[in-house]
Structure 1
């Protein structure tokens, strides 16, 4: 395999690890929202609203709305703080991970891992915008959306004369066979009429976790590339093509930019590390050729030493873009069996071998999560 294609393969593997990490983070945050749903349910049942519409009932409704607002604000504050800490750790781990992946493809430690201060980590996370706003602002917005939805649903239900059970269904979600009504199931398994406002809160939170993790990791990757600019010749967009790839990512796949982000052979501006919510694409570094680096290595004993470690095949194929489209299935099929088992987990691997695992389930890493420390160990 040529060096550019090996770099792409290694970075796809790193991207899958990121998806496994964000799957674990989504679960942790979902569990917090599950508990929030239970707390709101307890408050609703104990609020004493099952009385005729009177001033007393309206006072109880206002008290319940205030209690819910405080609990929602507290929960989302905890989520935001935990998420911030995770994202700062992710910057450090992910920037090291891409350096490890690229050096492995080169057969030499040409790239150096960035060193981060706590101030730099906080700045990168705080400055990474998701649809124009940092993730902390999005958590505040989601808390307000849930607070408003809870109050509106409560008010509308009481005006209709609904029972406490009916109010509970509107807020928390209907009890369905085999489904925990406060969130322990894929939303796609629950019909729209069975979803309460907590279901929608969970959906919004999961989308934010995924997009923010991939966006912030992408910014960390760019920081690692910029720290090794003497090795680089430019950048290339990589979308692992499959049925879930969006039209914008299909259009961007394979496009290149120089080190100053000027388009090469096209007029698409660089969209940033992600092109849309839930984006799985990433930016590939295009390295200089071995000959270019060898000429520039005079006076740089470390680089010269590492260049000497590279074999003839790596020297000859280093530099330039990757060699064409690549599907996720095609990439996965080319992996060693041990790596396939690691990505899918033992049970899903057996299902894949027997032909019982759908492609969507291969891409979804919800059942095979990684913690930040596990990701750190893989990136060392």
Structure 2
């Protein structure tokens, strides 16, 4: 069966998202290494500090406070240096994502359909520094990360002071260690690594999606709207999976059968969803002489929103354990027993309902 142009565009958009996810994986490795390096540096600062159990409590307290100020400066400096480098990466990624989106469409249609080939380097730089991802800029997310890391160290240091721990004990806990049974104990700020990796991954996918959207909007005469494309696997949340295939025009009105409000991905931290463009038909674009069009796209350039694998169909292909993992035990049991449908999982704002909210809607 011959695929329509819009079906092929969805496929190519997903391929591009896969390429970009590899960049995210590389950056996650960098930020994980940075967190580990920070652990060692703040441990080294403690060894070099004036803190000692031989000091009177007042002087020990002052030594701790001085140490914490130094740590805060160290943390802010390291994260700021990485953020600047990371934003340069995001800027380059935005240029790539935008240009690739336009080039892909032109290659599929086999004519120069997209007059605007992509955003400029200046636009990309602004997007990387000022673009909102879930209502926050990259700089704001890193600032909050720095506060979180500093708070972890502060809480640990003050608690260690109260418990009378030695410098040796504290540095061991800061960097992590294995106990006598070989059980590993992560360093104090290791818990922030997942947060840091989430920021990096979400930023990479969010900025690249925003760059594509800039190109789509600049070519609104050719593109009539966008379609939500989710990666359906066991890591996909219900909110994202239920949106798969939903499409909107540029005014946020549905152009496919759904009740979801228009929102731009990422929908949450680590969201992997993307928007694919929905191209207008040749007829909509004013091409009356179809003989001038490439043979491979004459009939397939129909402007229709491509049907995707619906979440319900994909879900039914999974076993009970996988279904439970996605919905959670309580929601799965309600679904299995026929007390709720997939439509019941979503509230009027297009959000997945909690188990408590579901029970409140049922007459049990």
Q: TM-score, normalised by structure 2?
A: 0.76
Show the counterpart of 2:300.
Answer: 317
Check whether the contact 1:241–1:326 (CA below 8 A) recurs between aligned residues.
Answer: no
Deviation of 1:53 after TM superposition, in Å, equals 5.6
Show the counterpart of 2:272.
Answer: 280
Structure 1 window deviating more from structure 2 (83-92 vs 16-25): it is: 83-92
| Cα distance in 1 for residues equivalent to 2:279 and 2:288 | 13
Deviation of 1:48 after TM superposition, in Å, equals 5.0
Check whether the contact 1:43–1:64 (CA below 8 A) recurs between aligned residues.
Answer: yes
Show the counterpart of 1:5.
Answer: 7
Show the counterpart of 1:40.
Answer: 42
Show the counterpart of 1:114.
Answer: 118
Show the counterpart of 1:343.
Answer: none
Show the counterpart of 1:362.
Answer: none
| Cα distance in 2 for residues equivalent to 1:59 and 1:149 | 19
2:298 partner SS: helix
Show the counterpart of 1:260.
Answer: 251
Structure 1 window deviating more from structure 2 (104-113 vs 133-142): it is: 104-113
Provide structure 1 residue ranges, at least 5 long, that are not aligned to the other structure.
180-189, 298-303, 331-380
Is residue 61 of structure 1 aligned with residue 64 of structure 2?
Answer: yes
Show the counterpart of 2:211.
Answer: 220
Show the counterpart of 2:347.
Answer: none
Deviation of 1:255 after TM superposition, in Å, equals 0.8
Pick aligned residue for 1:248 from 227, 239, 244? 239
Provide structure 2 residue ranges, at least 5 long, that are not aligned to the other structure.
315-364
Structure 1 residues 266 and 146: CA distance shift in structure 2, 3 A: same
Deviation of 1:309 after TM superposition, in Å, equals 5.6
Deviation of 1:9 after TM superposition, in Å, equals 1.2
Is residue 80 of structure 1 aligned with residue 83 of structure 2?
Answer: yes
Deviation of 1:316 after TM superposition, in Å, equals 0.9
Check whether the contact 1:173–1:198 (CA below 8 A) recurs between aligned residues.
Answer: no
**How big is the alpha-carbon RMSD for the aligned residues of Structure 1 and Structure 2?**
2.7
CA deviation vs aligned residue, 1:124-181 (integer Å, no higher than 9, x gap): 334422332211011111112211211210110121122334322432323489x9xx
Pick aligned residue for 2:23 from 21, 24, 27? 21
Structure 1 residues 107 and 165: CA distance shift in structure 2, 3 A: farther
Structure 1 window deviating more from structure 2 (85-94 vs 108-117): it is: 108-117
Structure 1 window deviating more from structure 2 (266-275 vs 157-166): it is: 157-166
* Structure 2 counterparts to residues 151-170 of structure 1, below 5 A: 151-170=154-173
Check whether the contact 1:241–1:250 (CA below 8 A) recurs between aligned residues.
Answer: yes
| Cα distance in 2 for residues equivalent to 1:12 and 1:145 | 34
| Cα distance in 2 for residues equivalent to 1:322 and 1:175 | 54
1:283 partner SS: strand
Pick aligned residue for 1:198 from 179, 189, 206? 189
CA deviation vs aligned residue, 1:305-336 (integer Å, no higher than 9, x gap): xx94622x322112211232189xx9xxxxxx
Show the counterpart of 2:152.
Answer: 149
1:257 partner SS: strand
| Cα distance in 2 for residues equivalent to 1:131 and 1:171 | 32
| Cα distance in 2 for residues equivalent to 1:176 and 1:208 | 31
Structure 1 residues 228 and 197: CA distance shift in structure 2, 3 A: same
Structure 1 residues 37 and 296: CA distance shift in structure 2, 3 A: farther
Check whether the contact 1:36–1:72 (CA below 8 A) recurs between aligned residues.
Answer: yes
Structure 1 residues 131 and 53: CA distance shift in structure 2, 3 A: farther
After the TM superposition, list the runs of 4 or more consecutive aligned residues in structure 1 that deviate by more than 4 angstroms. none
Larger Rg: 2
2:228 partner SS: strand
* Structure 2 counterparts to residues 298-309 of structure 1, below 5 A: 308=292
Structure number with greater CO (CA < 8 Å, separation at least 6) is 1
Check whether the contact 1:11–1:102 (CA below 8 A) recurs between aligned residues.
Answer: no
